Structure 1
Amino acid sequence: MEPLRHGYTNRTVGDGRTVVKRYDGPDAAARCQRERRMLGELAGVVPVPPLLGSDAESVRMGFVAGVHGQELMKAGRAVGVMRACGEVLRLMRDAPAPAGTGLVHGDFGPNNVLIDPVAFTVTAVLDWEFSYYGDPVTDLAWCEWVVRTHHAEDVAAIPELHAAWGLPVPAWPVRRAAMVARCEAYRDFNERWAAGGSGVRRWEGLIAATSAWSE
């Protein structure tokens, strides 16, 4: 098996038929267990990779065809990617959840979706290790954050995301507060991994930058 592109936190390898993901960093076993559980629960509800098996340290999934969302963004297809992201967020928002909450992926954006490059529909949402049940607006805001941070040239496509989401979009201060909260969660994750390290400093910088944004 060969290492897959776009794997930043963990070790993910594949052979064109099977993908194996092994978890590094804080709470690795719990994150592995969470992803395994979510892949099982969401099968047939949200497009996710098929769960083939797992152990205490890894999850084994079936290969899913599609082009990584980031690659399509770089290829100038931001409008289609944002529309596809909004449509799958609507599915996730309507997924079964405990009363008063909704499904939250925790790191949703073009960085974690595979897309059919012809139909421009999401074939799989990847990396469920940070998922939880809470306010679905978190994922909407974080997808916007990913675009503003990593694809600033495509900010004009963000309204496509909002339109496909299908509900009134929360005001900018609400969305920005959700973005800052996720940045703080990743800062804390990196602090537990390597206190005072480069990851912590990077997220501190992102918190400051995000807090200063205006719509």
Structure 2
Amino acid sequence: MKRYQGGIDEQLRRGTELAALERLPSGFPVPRVLGVPEGALRLEQLGGMHGQDLIDEGLARPVLRSCGELLRRLQQVDVSTVFPDTAVSTGWVVVHGDYGPNNMLFDQDTFRVTALLDWEWAHPGDRIEDVAWCEWIVRRHHPRHVDALDDLFAGYGVRPSWARRQQAAAAKCEAMVERFRNGPAAARKAWQEHLTLTLSWTE
């Protein structure tokens, strides 16, 4: 049971996730929606090990390669199928919005992705967004494994320029600062610190 808390937009986030899960193509590794109780979604439970746990065990390279491979597959999905009521710009793709090993489960033997979770931030957008944020998760939470990012880009099939990746990650941090501008001061401060850190990084 996934419940939505922590903001005035909780119903919007629930609706976004519900729509994405119901419209993604059959066979894509996401849980089936089993029920829609008020303020929550009842979701199929999928097996697998959490991506961040596997990275902590020293398995960053196969995990990140699978992250890149699945992202390439996601970006081949017809964006108008997942967001039929939204005008989309040419070249836009389905953006997960919080893409990375933090929201993924993996088969511990093959490292195949068994579940991509938490679609509440999904939207149509630039293909740089998810790959940059996946890198951000690694740099922020697993700095000892930054070298393994080579495998993320190998799986993805392309390595966008550092300038574009850093700009996209910083823009996400800026959006979160703005989101909490009238909210909890601690959350706003934390995202401001994330932004400062992101802008300090070099490839």
Same fold per superposition (TM over 0.5): yes
Asked if 1:205 is matched to 2:198, the reply is no
Percent identity reads 39
**Structure 2 residue runs without a partner (length 5+):** 81-87
Note the C-alpha offset of 1:137.
1.2
SS of equivalent residue, structure 1 residue 49: coil
SS of equivalent residue, structure 2 residue 46: coil
Over the aligned positions, Cα root-mean-square deviation in angstroms equals 1.2
Distance in 2 separating the partners of 1:201 and 1:175: 23
Distance in 2 separating the partners of 1:48 and 1:192: 33
Look up the match of 1:151: 142
Choose from 73, 78, 81 the match for 2:60.
Answer: 78
Alignment map for 1:50-65 (pairs within 5 Å): 50-65=32-47
SS of equivalent residue, structure 2 residue 192: helix
Distance in 2 separating the partners of 1:26 and 1:170: 35
Distance in 1 separating the partners of 2:96 and 2:179: 16
Distance in 1 separating the partners of 2:37 and 2:112: 31
Choose from 185, 188, 198 the match for 2:178.
Answer: 188
Look up the match of 1:170: 160
Note the C-alpha offset of 1:26.
3.0
Worse overlay, 43-52 or 69-78: 43-52
Q: 1:104 to 1:134 in 2, by over 3 A?
A: same
Look up the match of 1:33: 15
Asked if 1:114 is matched to 2:105, the reply is yes
Choose from 18, 40, 51 the match for 1:69.
Answer: 51
Q: 1:136 to 1:26 in 2, by over 3 A?
A: farther
In structure 2, give the amino acid aligned to 1:91.
R
Note the C-alpha offset of 1:213.
1.2
| Structure showing greater relative contact order (alpha-carbon pairs closer than 8 Å, 6 or more residues apart) | 2
Choose from 40, 56, 73 the match for 1:91.
Answer: 73
Distance in 1 separating the partners of 2:53 and 2:12: 30
The count of corresponding residues between Structure 1 and Structure 2 is 193
Look up the match of 1:142: 133
Q: 1:193 to 1:54 in 2, by over 3 A?
A: farther
Distance in 2 separating the partners of 1:26 and 1:192: 11
C-alpha contact (below 8 Å) 1:29/1:56 kept by paired residues: no
Distance in 1 separating the partners of 2:113 and 2:15: 24
**Hey, which of these two has a bigger chunk of strand by percent?**
1
Note the C-alpha offset of 1:180.
0.3
SS of equivalent residue, structure 1 residue 48: coil
Look up the match of 1:17: none
